Amino acid sequence: MEAYTGFAQVYDLFMDNIPYEEWAAYLRGLLRDYGVEDGLVLELGCGTGNMTELLAGMGYDMIGVDLSGEMLELAQEKKYASGRDILYLQQDMREFELYGTVRAVVSVCDSMNYLLEEEDLLQVFRLVNNYLDPGGVFLFDLNTEYKYRELLGDHTFAEDREESSFIWDNYYDPDTGVNEYSLSLFVQGEDGRYDKFQEEHFQRSYSLEKVKELLAQAGMEFEAAYDAFTRQPPGPESERIYVAARERGKKRLQEE
């Protein structure tokens, strides 16, 4: 897993077309559907804190975990500006630790796709299961194999702005399900000159059946999968899906 470094400086700039408010409203709706009206919520892969801030503004007590110190620095700046009581932790999601359990765990913006090995995804599911309240809910999204194969793989995207530009090359391997992102960033400094940053990112597609299998191994109960931003099941051309799972082990132990 690569930490965002140079890209962290301009992440929000290039993501300004993402309708975070709509995403947050959809996520809040799912949380309410599964009985989480308020309380402590963990966001895995919180990045610069855009979603964390919005969910905190909706009344949730938020914890944000991310591997990138550069991204978390920006999240902290937003926290100070908003005055919201958010706890940010710099941790690898495969090894994250909390002081106690939470009512829900969420992860958006395809953070789970950065886990390239099934063992890593299973480990995250196990940790989520461990830190959820009995019956707590886990909501996360995934880019689909269709998106990597048809829309991203072997395509180049570029954007040129006055203060920064990027070139984004994609290479998708259908045999491994891994999509390589090659980013070249040009960021304008205070002196007016442009610094170049290069980063390599990798994401892997997982079938819904594999996700269900790993959730079961982690002791979680699969609840539903949705075509992103709807309540409809995913279809063959879904680009992003949301998965809902629930912690069941602690509840069963209490009943026994």
Are 107 and 90 within one domain?
yes
Provide the pLDDT for residue 10.
Answer: 58
Task: Give pLDDT tens digits for 208-246.
Answer: 999 999 999 999 999 999 999 999 999 999 999 999 999
Are 106 and 117 within one domain?
yes
| 130 within domain boundaries | yes
Are 211 and 200 within one domain?
no
Provide the pLDDT for residue 132.
Answer: 97
CATH number at residue 108: 3.40.50.150
| 1 within domain boundaries | no
Provide the pLDDT for residue 255.
Answer: 47
| 20 within domain boundaries | yes
Provide the pLDDT for residue 250.
Answer: 64
Q: Which residues of 143-173 are buried (b: 16+ CB within 10 A; e: fewer)?
A: bbbbbbeeebbeeeeeeeeeebbbebebebe
What is the value of pTM for the model shown? 0.90
Are 81 and 199 within one domain?
no
Task: Give pLDDT tens digits for 142-160.
Answer: 999 999 999 999 999 888 8
Would you say 86 and 53 are in contact if contact means Cβ atoms under 8 Å apart? yes
How many domains, the chain?
2
Segments of the chain scoring below 50 in pLDDT: 1-2, 5, 252-256
Are 58 and 93 within one domain?
yes
CATH number at residue 156: 2.20.25.110
Query: Residue 232 gets which letter from DSSP?
Result: S
Pairing of β 220-227 and β 240-247: antiparallel
Residue ending a domain, among 204, 222, 243, is 204
Expressed as residue numbers, the domain containing 118 is: 6-143+206-255
